Amino acid sequence: MSVKQISVFLENKAGTLQGMTAALAENNVDMRALSLAETNDFGIVRLIVDDVYAASTVLKEAGYIHNVTPVLGVCIPDEPGGLHKVLQIMGEANINIEYMYAFLGAASTGHAYMIFRVQDRKAAAAALRTKGIRLVDQDDIAQL
């Protein structure tokens, strides 16, 4: 079970992020989550979208360098300590988290969602499932 993340490499100058989002918007690709990391010369935009194939095609045709990476999507209870519980389970399973970012679903779900890039996605998923934590996959993302 995984979510597909698209990482897009952008030159760090005014307008490049807008150009990328315009290409996606003009082709009806819905972004569910976005994370931006930058250096002096370039940035990496990490995207979770409703339709990975469409987004990847649009980005390729628009000349954007990108890749698709499987990541772990986790449903976090929207309550104090919800994230802590997930991190504790991963810590106990000796899972190293490379990076993570959050996004919200509909308010009526009572959950937030986290995207985790971990060294061992299968081990992390197994540890979380064992403790009753719900994971989301790409089909779930398309429905949010």
The domains located in the chain, with CATH, are 3-68 (3.30.2130.10), 70-143 (3.30.2130.10)
Q: What's the pTM? A: 0.90
Q: Residue 11 pLDDT > 80, yes or no? A: yes
CA nearest to 69, candidates 9, 29, 28:
9
Q: What is the pLDDT of residues 66-88, one digit of tens each?
A: 999 999 999 998 789 999 999 99
pLDDT classification of 109: cutoffs 50, 70, 90: low
Nearest to 2 by CA among 135, 142, 104: 135
Written as six digits, the tokens of 49 are 């979208």
pLDDT given for residue 104 in this prediction? 72
E-strand stretches of the chain = 3-11, 31-38, 42-49, 65-77, 97-104, 111-118, 135-136
What tens digit of pLDDT does each residue of 25-68 get? 999 999 999 999 987 888 999 999 999 999 999 999 999 999 99
Q: Is the distance from CB of 112 to CB of 105 less than 8 angstroms?
A: yes
Report the C-alpha gap between 35 and 7 in whole angstroms.
9
Task: Tell which residue, 33, 75, 74, has the closest CA to residue 52.
Answer: 33
Percent of the chain with pLDDT over 70: 95
**What is residue 77's predicted lDDT score, i.e. its pLDDT?**
80
Average pLDDT over residues 20-27: 97
Cβ 71 vs Cβ 124: under 8 Å:
no
Cβ count near 78 (within 10 Å): 14
pLDDT at 107 over 90: no
C-alpha–C-alpha distance, residues 139 and 144, integer Å: 9
